[in-house]
Amino acid sequence: MTLAPELKDTSPEKLLAPVLSAFWDEDKSWSLDVYKRHEGYEGLRKALAMSPDDLIAYVKDSGLRGRGGAGFPTGMKWQFIPQGDGKPHYLVVNADESEPGTCKDIPLLFANPHSLIEGIVIACYAIRSSHAFIYLRGEVVPVLRRLHAAVSEAYAAGYLGQNILGSGLDLELTVHAGAGAYICGEETALLDSLEGRRGQPRLRPPFPAVAGLYACPTVVNNVESIASVPAILTRGKEWFRSMGSEKSPGFTLYSLSGHVASPGQFEAPLGITLRQLLEMSGGMRPGHRLKFWTPGGSSTPMFTDEHLDVPLDYEGVGAAGSMLGTKALQCFDETTCVVRAVTRWTEFYAHESCGKCTPCREGTYWLVQLLRDIEAGKGVMSDLDKLNDIADNINGKSFCALGDGAASPIFSSLKYFREEYEQHITGRGCPFDPAKSTAWADRTEVNA
């Protein structure tokens, strides 16, 4: 609502709001020196001057919501931690960014890891934790290197360790590399994995706030959520609330990818639209038009060009029938076969299903069989209803959200592109040429 008058101005200077990404292009942007030149660790000083309870209330008042997909209010998560219970409390940062299309936390940590570390210290002060963990997916060694370096710098500078900035706060921070499993992005599977087990989700309740890591009260937050906290402290909750809408305040990273002229990261107030992002960045690749896109990764129901003006905030995307998710805007043009795209995503879910619950384990397997047949021209019309039926038996009936995610592309693609499935069946094969979808398809020079 707040932004409505401004959105008429289409200049990127108006529409974008680089905060976390504001100095990513500076030399050694990942280092403590550069971070401190940009108000680094100022938010921590302000936080330490408050009482932990006031700090939690402050973050709650800012309206910050989780940036990992679910959009749960961050301050409320912190508030759920029981105090005075005599147990250790833990903060676990979910840096297992693996949702197809999602690519915001990895560049953030590569270019500006100290924003996360500062946020971690603030959060641990609030929830009275003296040991935090960063669970980083293992497949990103360049990011792991910079996290190792940044944590070591922070210890040396007294932002981690004993009696931080003379406040009496002691905090150990452990960087933990995962070993390749999408399911570990699910918070309870992540906790099992961090405990040295197979990454399988836990039954809830009890929720991690009560019985999380080592059965102790635990906050699990996404990287971007925690990294956003220092700026809120430094510049104030009013500043934060001045961006976005009443229910979705603040700034966030949007990741544009696929058949667009300029894929990349765009940090903007919540509520920007894909049309605005495309207009400012050069649109789709020349000569092509948008066919379908995901608002927040492959687990969020896909959109089409009818949805270009949907405000990309939690409520706006929800009202249009999808989810904001991770703001991973994967854009596909008219050269892309929807059946191929959905088949590949479904193969991913089948591969990554942890096997704990039957609907997801068996359902994703059979979805893949049907989709492969359809893509190969061996499907029959009744397969389409069967796809819907199987997806319906996974959705909401699985142990965790991975199953729901697997059903999303099936439901949404059948809703918008049923005809294209039918073409594969009646035409006995795929009518698309994959060569036309490649990044180099329209380049003038011949690819050897």
Partner 1 sequence: MTTSSSERGVSLGMPELPAPAYPDDVRERLETDAREIIARYPDSRSALLPLLHLVQSEEGHVTRTGMRFCADVLELTTAEVTAVATFYTMYRRKPSGDYQVGVCTNTLCAVMGGDAIFAELQEHLGVGNGETTDDGKVTLEHIECNAACDFAPVVMVNWEFFDNQTPASAKAMVDDLRAGRPVEPTRGAPLCTFKETARILAGFPDERPGAVEASGGAGPASLVGLRLARGETAPARVVHPRDGAPQDRDVHEPSPSEHLSSHDAPQDTSASDPAHPAGPAAEEGE
* Range 201-230, binding partner 1 (CB under 8 A): 214
SS3 249: strand
Site for partner 1 in 354-383 (CB under 8 A): 354
Q: Does 332 bind partner 1 (CB under 8 A)?
A: yes
Span of 51-59, 68-76, 190-198, 305-313 interacting with partner 1 by CB under 8 A? 190-198
The span from the CA of 398 to the CA of 412, in Å, is 19
Which of 330, 353, 395, 413 lies at the binding interface for partner 1 (CB under 8 A)?
Answer: 330
- Provide the minimum distance between the beta carbon of 64 and partner 1 in the complex, in angstroms, as a whole number: 15
Both structure tokens of 232? 């809120």
Q: Does 194 bind partner 1 (CB under 8 A)?
A: yes
- Provide the minimum distance between the beta carbon of 348 and partner 1 in the complex, in angstroms, as a whole number: 6
Q: Does 68 bind partner 1 (CB under 8 A)?
A: no
Span of 41-49, 196-204, 381-389, 392-400 interacting with partner 1 by CB under 8 A? 196-204
The span from the CA of 209 to the CA of 215, in Å, is 9
Q: Does 41 bind partner 1 (CB under 8 A)?
A: no
Size of residue set near partner 1 by CB under 8 A: 121
Site for partner 1 in 409-448 (CB under 8 A): 434-435, 437-440, 447-448
What are the φ and ψ backbone dihedral angles of 373, each rounded to 5 degrees? -65, -45
Which of 50, 57, 70, 149 lies at the binding interface for partner 1 (CB under 8 A)?
Answer: 149
DSSP state letter for 73 = B
Q: Does 328 bind partner 1 (CB under 8 A)?
A: yes
From first CA to last CA, the distance across the chain in angstroms is: 52
Q: Calculate helix-pair angle for 401-426, 338-352, nearest 10 degrees.
A: 150
For partner 1, what does the binding mask look like between residues 72 and 91, x meaning CB under 8 A?
----------------x---
Q: Which is nearer to partner 1, 103 or 387 (CB)?
A: 103
β-strand 90-95 against 218-222: which pairing, if any?
A: parallel
177-to-143, 221, 340, 432 alpha-carbon distances in Å: 10, 16, 32, 40
Q: Which is nearer to partner 1, 79 or 265 (CB)?
A: 265
Q: Which residues pair with 220 in a beta bridge?
A: 92
Which of 49, 141, 319, 376 lies at the binding interface for partner 1 (CB under 8 A)?
Answer: 141
Q: Does 246 bind partner 1 (CB under 8 A)?
A: no
The span from the CA of 98 to the CA of 57, in Å, is 31
Span of 40-48, 159-167, 256-264, 389-397 interacting with partner 1 by CB under 8 A? 256-264
Site for partner 1 in 259-288 (CB under 8 A): 259, 261-269, 279-283, 286
- Residue the block writes with tokens 């906290």: 229
- Residue the block writes with tokens 């635990």: 218
42 CB-side CA count, 13 A: 12
Per-residue burial over 335-362, b if 16 or more Cβ lie within 10 Å, else e, is bbbbbbbbbebbebbbebbbebbebbbb
Q: Which is nearer to partner 1, 167 or 281 (CB)?
A: 281
Q: Is residue 224 a contact partner of residue 252, using CB atoms and an 8 Å limit?
A: yes
Span of 159-167, 178-186, 390-398, 399-407 interacting with partner 1 by CB under 8 A? 178-186
Q: Does 154 bind partner 1 (CB under 8 A)?
A: no
Q: CB count, 10 Å around CB of 327?
A: 29
SS3 393: helix
Q: Does 14 bind partner 1 (CB under 8 A)?
A: yes
Q: Which is nearer to partner 1, 74 or 257 (CB)?
A: 257
- Provide the minimum distance between the beta carbon of 181 and partner 1 in the complex, in angstroms, as a whole number: 5
